[in-house]
């Protein structure tokens, strides 16, 4: 009996606390043109998928869209930050950079040029090169997902035309 009362009390406490899973932000436009991304851009593809999931029509031509998302720079970078005296790489830094702006098809700026830059440090060992290559892919994917989430939050804050 006490156990049942405890379970009911805890369920009532969680139900009344206002907890709600994070939802995708509501975007203020129905269609968006993505321009400036390379044809096989992982970041561009991830952004396109999230926009479609948010019920935004992704259009190839800027003239027919409610807004134009222009990628000014979309880059993946990798640099060596530590090496041994023998010249073997011990640590690398991975970077994903997106510089973008959002405007109407007529040219009115809705979101001025902004840059998102994420970095991750990764140790490296030549004896585990295959595992480190897989880790690198996963880190890039996680950074790109984070950038896409930040872009969607910025797009949701745009004051509509």
92 and 76 in contact (C-beta within 8 Å)? no
Is the pLDDT score of 94 beyond 70? yes
For the chain, which residues make up each domain, given as ranges?
A: 25-156
- pLDDT winner (highest mean) among 20-24, 98-102, 105-109: 98-102
Q: Enumerate residues 6+ apart whose C-beta is below 8 A from 62.
A: 33, 35, 68, 105
| pLDDT given for residue 25 in this prediction | 74
Against a cut of 0.85, is the pTM above it? no
Which helix (DSSP H) or strand (DSSP E) does residue 82 occupy? strand 67-83
Average pLDDT, the chain: 88
Span 57-85, mean pLDDT?
Answer: 92
Cα–Cα dist 80/50, whole Å: 32
| pLDDT given for residue 63 in this prediction | 85
- Please give the residue that has the higher pLDDT: either 17 or 72: 72
Least Cα distance to 147 among 109, 92, 100, 82 occurs for 100
Residue 35 is encoded by which pair of tokens?
């321009």
> Which of 1.20.1070.10, 3.40.190.290, 3.30.160.150, 3.40.1410.10 would CATH assign to domain 25-156?
3.30.160.150
Q: What is the number of helices (H) and of strands (E) in the chain?
A: 3, 5
| pLDDT given for residue 119 in this prediction | 97
Diameter of the chain by CA atoms? 70
| pLDDT given for residue 45 in this prediction | 94
């Amino acid at each position: 009996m006490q156990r049942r009362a405890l379970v009911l009390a805890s369920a009532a406490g969680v139900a009344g606390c206002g907890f709600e899973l994070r939802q995708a932000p509501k975007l203020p436009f129905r269609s968006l043109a993505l321009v400036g991304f390379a044809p096989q851009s992982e970041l561009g593809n991830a952004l396109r998928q999230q926009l479609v999931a948010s019920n935004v029509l992704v259009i190839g031509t800027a003239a027919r869209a409610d807004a134009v998302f222009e990628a000014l720079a979309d880059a993946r970078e990798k640099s060596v930050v530590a090496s041994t005296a023998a010249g073997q790489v011990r640590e690398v830094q991975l970077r994903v950079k997106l510089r973008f702006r959002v405007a109407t098809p007529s040219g009115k700026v809705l979101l001025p040029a902004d840059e998102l830059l994420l970095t991750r440090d990764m140790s490296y060992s030549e004896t585990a090169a295959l595992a480190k290559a897989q880790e690198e892919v996963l880190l890039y994917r996680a950074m790109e997902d984070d950038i896409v989430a930040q872009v969607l939050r910025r797009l949701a804050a745009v004051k509509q035309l």
